[in-house]
Amino acid sequence: MARHLPGFASAVVMVIALGAGGPVSAQKSGGVLRLSHFDSPASMSILEESTRAALQPAMHVFNNLVMYKQDVAQTSLQSVIPDLATSWSWSEDGKELTFPLRQGVKWHDGTPVTAADVKCT
Protein backbone atom coordinates (compact mmCIF):
# COMPACT_ATOMS: atom_id res chain seq x y z
CA MET A 1 0.00 0.00 0.00
CA ALA A 2 2.82 2.42 0.84
CA ARG A 3 4.30 2.01 -2.66
CA HIS A 4 1.11 3.28 -4.33
CA LEU A 5 0.82 6.35 -2.12
CA PRO A 6 3.08 8.68 -4.18
CA GLY A 7 1.07 8.03 -7.36
CA PHE A 8 -2.21 8.43 -5.48
CA ALA A 9 -0.96 11.64 -3.83
CA SER A 10 0.06 13.03 -7.24
CA ALA A 11 -3.40 12.26 -8.61
CA VAL A 12 -5.07 14.00 -5.66
CA VAL A 13 -2.88 17.08 -6.08
CA MET A 14 -3.69 17.19 -9.81
CA VAL A 15 -7.45 16.95 -9.18
CA ILE A 16 -7.26 19.74 -6.59
CA ALA A 17 -5.18 21.93 -8.91
CA LEU A 18 -7.59 21.42 -11.81
CA GLY A 19 -10.59 22.16 -9.62
CA ALA A 20 -9.03 25.32 -8.19
CA GLY A 21 -8.44 26.85 -11.60
CA GLY A 22 -11.82 28.55 -11.77
CA PRO A 23 -13.98 28.97 -14.85
CA VAL A 24 -12.36 29.13 -18.24
CA SER A 25 -13.01 32.41 -20.03
CA ALA A 26 -13.53 32.76 -23.77
CA GLN A 27 -10.69 33.93 -25.97
CA LYS A 28 -10.66 37.70 -26.27
CA SER A 29 -10.06 39.75 -29.40
CA GLY A 30 -6.87 41.74 -29.71
CA GLY A 31 -3.61 41.36 -27.88
CA VAL A 32 -0.18 40.27 -29.00
CA LEU A 33 0.81 36.91 -30.47
CA ARG A 34 4.22 35.90 -29.14
CA LEU A 35 6.14 32.88 -30.35
CA SER A 36 9.70 31.74 -30.25
CA HIS A 37 11.26 31.62 -33.69
CA PHE A 38 14.71 31.08 -35.17
CA ASP A 39 14.61 33.96 -37.67
CA SER A 40 12.87 37.17 -38.62
CA PRO A 41 10.77 36.52 -41.75
CA ALA A 42 10.80 39.11 -44.54
CA SER A 43 6.99 39.21 -44.39
CA MET A 44 3.96 37.22 -43.24
CA SER A 45 2.76 36.76 -46.81
CA ILE A 46 2.51 33.04 -47.44
CA LEU A 47 1.90 33.88 -51.09
CA GLU A 48 5.21 35.72 -51.49
CA GLU A 49 7.51 33.85 -49.13
CA SER A 50 8.71 30.28 -49.52
CA THR A 51 11.07 29.79 -46.61
CA ARG A 52 10.34 28.00 -43.37
CA ALA A 53 11.17 31.27 -41.60
CA ALA A 54 7.97 32.82 -43.00
CA LEU A 55 5.74 29.79 -43.44
CA GLN A 56 6.17 28.29 -39.98
CA PRO A 57 4.73 31.24 -38.00
CA ALA A 58 2.19 32.09 -40.70
CA MET A 59 0.63 28.62 -40.48
CA HIS A 60 -0.45 29.47 -36.92
CA VAL A 61 -2.09 32.71 -38.04
CA PHE A 62 -3.72 31.94 -41.40
CA ASN A 63 -5.94 29.14 -42.64
CA ASN A 64 -5.68 27.50 -46.07
CA LEU A 65 -8.36 26.07 -48.33
CA VAL A 66 -6.77 22.66 -47.81
CA MET A 67 -3.83 21.32 -45.86
CA TYR A 68 -1.88 18.11 -45.31
CA LYS A 69 -2.91 15.83 -42.45
CA GLN A 70 -0.41 16.60 -39.72
CA ASP A 71 -0.25 13.02 -38.46
CA VAL A 72 0.77 11.50 -41.81
CA ALA A 73 4.51 11.17 -42.33
CA GLN A 74 4.46 11.18 -46.14
CA THR A 75 2.63 13.88 -48.04
CA SER A 76 0.47 12.71 -50.92
CA LEU A 77 -2.85 13.58 -52.53
CA GLN A 78 -4.48 11.09 -50.16
CA SER A 79 -3.29 13.10 -47.15
CA VAL A 80 -4.80 16.41 -48.30
CA ILE A 81 -7.73 17.42 -46.10
CA PRO A 82 -10.12 20.41 -46.09
CA ASP A 83 -9.35 23.45 -43.93
CA LEU A 84 -11.41 26.51 -45.01
CA ALA A 85 -12.89 24.47 -47.84
CA THR A 86 -15.33 21.71 -46.94
CA SER A 87 -14.46 19.71 -50.06
CA TRP A 88 -13.29 20.20 -53.63
CA SER A 89 -14.23 19.00 -57.08
CA TRP A 90 -12.89 19.29 -60.62
CA SER A 91 -14.95 20.26 -63.64
CA GLU A 92 -15.40 17.57 -66.30
CA ASP A 93 -12.74 19.15 -68.52
CA GLY A 94 -10.30 19.32 -65.56
CA LYS A 95 -9.76 23.07 -65.97
CA GLU A 96 -11.77 24.37 -63.01
CA LEU A 97 -11.44 23.48 -59.36
CA THR A 98 -14.32 24.36 -56.99
CA PHE A 99 -13.98 24.73 -53.21
CA PRO A 100 -17.18 25.16 -51.17
CA LEU A 101 -16.23 27.23 -48.09
CA ARG A 102 -16.96 26.47 -44.46
CA GLN A 103 -19.78 28.63 -43.10
CA GLY A 104 -19.31 30.87 -40.06
CA VAL A 105 -15.61 31.62 -40.61
CA LYS A 106 -14.73 35.23 -39.77
CA TRP A 107 -11.78 37.57 -40.04
CA HIS A 108 -10.22 38.99 -36.88
CA ASP A 109 -12.63 41.94 -37.02
CA GLY A 110 -15.73 39.73 -37.22
CA THR A 111 -16.29 40.16 -40.97
CA PRO A 112 -17.31 36.88 -42.66
CA VAL A 113 -14.79 35.20 -44.97
CA THR A 114 -16.25 35.07 -48.49
CA ALA A 115 -15.39 33.59 -51.87
CA ALA A 116 -14.30 37.08 -52.94
CA ASP A 117 -11.62 37.01 -50.19
CA VAL A 118 -10.33 33.67 -51.44
CA LYS A 119 -10.33 34.91 -55.04
CA CYS A 120 -8.35 38.00 -53.98
CA THR A 121 -5.60 35.90 -52.47
Distance separating alpha carbons of residues 44 and 61, to the nearest angstrom: 9
Residue 33: φ, ψ to 5° = -90, 120
The DSSP-derived string for 63-97 is --SEEE-TT-SS--GGGEEESSBS--EE-TTS--E
pTM for the model stands at 0.54
Q: What is the pLDDT along the chain (121 residues), one digit of tens a residue?
A: 445 445 555 555 565 555 555 555 666 778 887 777 788 888 887 778 878 888 888 877 788 898 888 788 777 888 889 999 999 999 999 999 999 999 999 988 999 999 999 888 7
DSSP letter assigned to residue 100: P
Q: In the chain, what are the domains?
A: 36-120 (3.90.76.10)
Burial class (CB in 10 A: 0-12, 13-18, 19+), 37: exposed
